[in-house]
Amino acid sequence: MRMTRMLGAAVLALGLAAGPAAADSSPSPSASDDGAAPTRAGTSFRTATEIEQGQRATANGSAGDYLYWSFPADAGQRPTVRATVELPKTHAAQTWQIDVYDGLRRRQACQYGAQTRTAAAGVSSLELACVLRTVRAWSEPWADDPLPGTYYIRLTVVHVPASDLGLPVGTEVRVGSEDLGGAAAVDGSLAKPLVPGVAAKSERSERTSAALADTDPEDGWASGWWSDRWVWTAVGGVLAALAGIAGYALTRGPGRPSRMPPGA
The answer to which of 42-46, 92-96, 233-237 has the lowest mean pLDDT is 233-237
Provide the b/e sequence for 132-157 (b: ≥16 CB within 10 Å). Answer: bebbbbeeeeeeeebbbbbbbbbbbb
pLDDT at 214 over 50: yes
Whether 33 has a pLDDT exceeding 60, the answer reads: no
Higher pLDDT, 147 or 11: 147
Domain presence at residue 114: yes
Please name the amino acid found at residue 151. Y
CATH code (residue 201): 2.60.120.380
Does some domain include residue 262? no
Cα(70)–Cα(154) distance, integer angstroms? 9
- Asked if residue 251 belongs to a domain, the reply is no
Task: Give the best-scoring range by mean pLDDT among 6-20, 120-134, 218-232.
Answer: 120-134
Residue 113 lies in a domain: yes
What local confidence, expressed as pLDDT, does residue 107 receive?
94
Is 226 within the bounds of a domain? Answer: no
**Per-residue pLDDT tens digits for 36-91:** 789 999 999 999 999 999 999 999 999 999 999 999 998 889 999 999 999 999 99
As a whole number of Å, the CA-based R_g of the chain is 28
- For a pLDDT cut of 70, what percent of the chain falls above it? 64
- Total number of domains in the chain: 1
pLDDT in tens, 112-137: 999 999 999 989 999 999 999 999 88
Domain that includes residue 71, residue range: 29-220
Mean pLDDT of the chain: 76
| Consecutive H or E run containing 244 | helix 229-252
Residue 141 lies in a domain: yes
Q: Left, alpha or beta for 43 (phi > 0: left; psi -120 to 50: alpha)?
A: alpha
Cα distance between residue 25 and residue 185, in whole Å: 12
The answer, yes or no, to whether residue 211 has pLDDT greater than 60, is no
Domain membership of residue 133 (yes or no) is yes
Cα angle 183, 233, 219; round to 5: 55
Over the stretch 148-157, which tens digit does the pLDDT of each residue have? 999 999 999 9
In a domain, 53, yes or no: yes
